[in-house]
Structure 1
């Protein structure tokens, strides 16, 4: 095999994502299985007050009731619709603002200090102002979620653009690239991993903010309202069911984003 072929083979191997072995996948289930077994034992032996720690069987019965009556799908679809709307709005604005701050020195000097102050304000500190301006309905929740998605996209997009390797910019200058060609063919491809990280964080943050918005802006339907209902009626089975759904949806979003990231890494590597 020639040196060139060896180099190509090594490059392809480096671009392949690390695949967990079957053994490592099973190891990841040890802690959840142990936690459920301990939960089942404590509830069966009445070690803990049954009103505070219901049995897994009770939670499964509640899950079956929520699914068969359609209450789960109505609540979950409302939450996901808000999350998707806020995520799209916040991500779109974040990409535009992040690109502007990264590409324009003037914009960075004018807007950068204000944005750096804005991002230091806790997200939940905006709740009183949002509730006064937009009420407690879906509009207020979408505004809140848009803010949650905006900040990580702006920060990562701006940083990705501004950390473009100088060697790449020098190559573009030598080849006589125009400003537009340099941005579209050099800067943005180099910044793509950082931009995707911002979008990935926006997806996760907006889902977490969805639950917070539904819990604090209680008007309407959603999986967060399911938690409120369980808490108000002291139904720990409903609370634990809602928490399980939230965790499962978050895990699915994370897994989907990671899979897309691996595909993106292979595509950019080939490019």
Structure 2
């Protein structure tokens, strides 16, 4: 069983006066945070606040670029070529990095959001284009992709990849996540069970199929109503099972 892993959360997804998630309580519980960059959620003030919360909680910061779809929260598919997807990620990464630079906080990774994440899963050329664009801007930044064939291919091409699994999403028989347009509360213990399964090397699909998974980081969603409770259940399980947490860049860097 893997005993070193990163726990990450999508956060910073409020917009103006509309508040989503409990970032004050959630961000200190995770080792890495993916901050929305304004296209699917977030705004400059929210971005600054999220980065400051991460700095205060000693949580590593990453950019969470999405499709330009505030109304659909970036979870509706849009048509983008690999070049367009790469430029979208680069643009949003740059915006967050400017905010983080002003606070003296490094941006360690880039993780596409929602349907843009799904595009990198379905189109390996898009995933590689995103990695190339981001790492052309900063060779030290890692790109987060779903653990599996696409992440392996991009890593084999020489890009710095973090392989991700999910605590609070279901999987199909192909090892693809099933995205929820509007996440509802989930049983924290069921999520913790899935995390421990991932650490043992597999997840069970919605049809009962065991799907192999080799992940450096495990995500939970900040817009889930009981995200804090889910995080606490996972941390309790880590303590019981002797699992140590570290930021995803550190965990991924230990791969041969």
TM-score by length of 2: 0.24
